[in-house]
């Protein structure tokens, strides 16, 4: 009521005398929209048709198990790799001397392979550095009391890993004869489950195929696998001079959740030292 529509004291007093204005009715809310139907999962793109002449070979149960376990291993285990070149000449010399001392036949006869000595060397290394002889679980790291080594053996239907139990406590002849027996029965499909299930560490040796270098996939739930390649003559430098030595390349694959890089390197360094000075295997 003031000049030019201004609010003055009389307007305020009159408004107070009338009391509060009635509340306005709430505006009607719009009806809730009906929930949208869940989107159907996008269909997988069909595999490209195979048009070339071919033969479809159904997967065996073993091949399916191998595919599942190796896929899970690569998908769930953070692999870490350490590679070293290792000289074999001293090991080959010791092998030749031991084989020459073996009886020609009978229960005490043996014929050592390089793989037999590698198994023993890995077992001794695992005893010295036991944190690699392990498995990961969500609650704890499992450290195995025994050194049980799984050794990869190729069979007609895939791959199987018979186990040398307590390999660090066995002599070379015992390991050699046991490995030959396990490999023969593996190829014949006559292994018992306890002979290939378990183990704390694996070895995959492809040296007999002339493979120069490779990395192996960890065999879960183990924490490590050693890939062993062929021993070949290579130029090396010794005491500042060029020489020829028999050298094999080995790669240790480890589960990085358990085995750190420094620990993997320490293991490989110890393994290299044992192989290059193999008389310690006789102790």
pLDDT of amino acid 95: 95
Task: Give residue-wise pLDDT tens across range 98-110.
Answer: 999 999 888 788 9
Looking up tokens 């499909």 gives 189
Is pLDDT of 280 > 90?
Answer: no
- The ranges assigned to domains in the chain are 78-282
Task: Provide the residue count of the chain.
Answer: 283
Of these residues, 54, 59, 79, 256, which one is catalytic? 256
How much is the average pLDDT of 186-198?
92
Q: Span 43-55, mean pLDDT?
A: 77
More confidently predicted of 13 and 177: 177
What CATH fold (topology level) applies to the domain 78-282?
Answer: Chloramphenicol Acetyltransferase (3.30.559)
Catalytic residue check, 256: yes
Q: What is the pLDDT of residues 70-109, one digit of tens each?
A: 999 999 999 999 999 999 999 999 999 999 999 988 878 8
Please give the residue that has the higher pLDDT: either 33 or 156: 156
Contacts 24+ apart (CB under 8 A), 170-177: 170/120, 170/123, 172/98, 172/110, 172/112, 172/116, 172/117, 172/120, 172/281, 173/102, 173/108, 173/110, 173/112, 175/116, 175/119, 175/120, 176/110, 176/111, 176/112, 176/113, 176/116, 177/110
pLDDT for res 28:
52
């Amino acid at each position: 009521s003031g000049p030019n529509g201004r609010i003055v004291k009389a307007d305020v007093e009159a408004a107070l005398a009338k009391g509060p204005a009635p509340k306005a009715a709430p505006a009607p809310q719009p009806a809730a929209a009906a929930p949208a139907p869940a989107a159907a999962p996008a269909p997988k793109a069909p595999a490209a048709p195979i048009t070339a002449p071919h033969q479809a070979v159904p997967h065996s149960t073993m091949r399916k198990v191998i595919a599942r376990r190796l896929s899970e291993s690569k998908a769930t285990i953070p692999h870490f790799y350490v590679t070293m070149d290792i000289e074999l000449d001293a090991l080959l010399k010791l092998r030749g001397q031991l084989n020459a001392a073996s009886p020609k036949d009978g229960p005490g006869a043996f014929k050592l392979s390089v793989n037999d000595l590698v198994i023993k060397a890995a077992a001794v290394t695992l005893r010295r550095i036991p944190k690699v002889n392990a498995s990961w679980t969500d609650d704890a790291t499992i450290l195995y009391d025994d050194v049980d080594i799984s050794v990869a053996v190729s069979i007609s239907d895939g791959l199987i890993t018979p186990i040398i139990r307590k390999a660090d406590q066995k002599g070379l002849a015992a390991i050699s004869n046991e490995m030959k027996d396990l490999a023969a029965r593996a190829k014949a499909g006559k292994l018992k489950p306890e002979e290939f299930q378990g183990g704390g560490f694996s070895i995959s040796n492809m040296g007999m195929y002339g493979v120069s270098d490779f990395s192996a996939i960890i065999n879960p739930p183990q924490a490590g696998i050693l890939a062993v390649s062929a021993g070949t003559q290579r130029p090396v430098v010794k005491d500042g001079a060029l020489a020829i030595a028999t050298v094999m390349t080995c790669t240790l694959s480890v589960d990085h959740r358990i085995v750190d890089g420094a620990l993997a390197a320490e293991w490989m360094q110890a393994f290299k030292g044992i192989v290059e000075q193999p008389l310690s295997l006789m102790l």
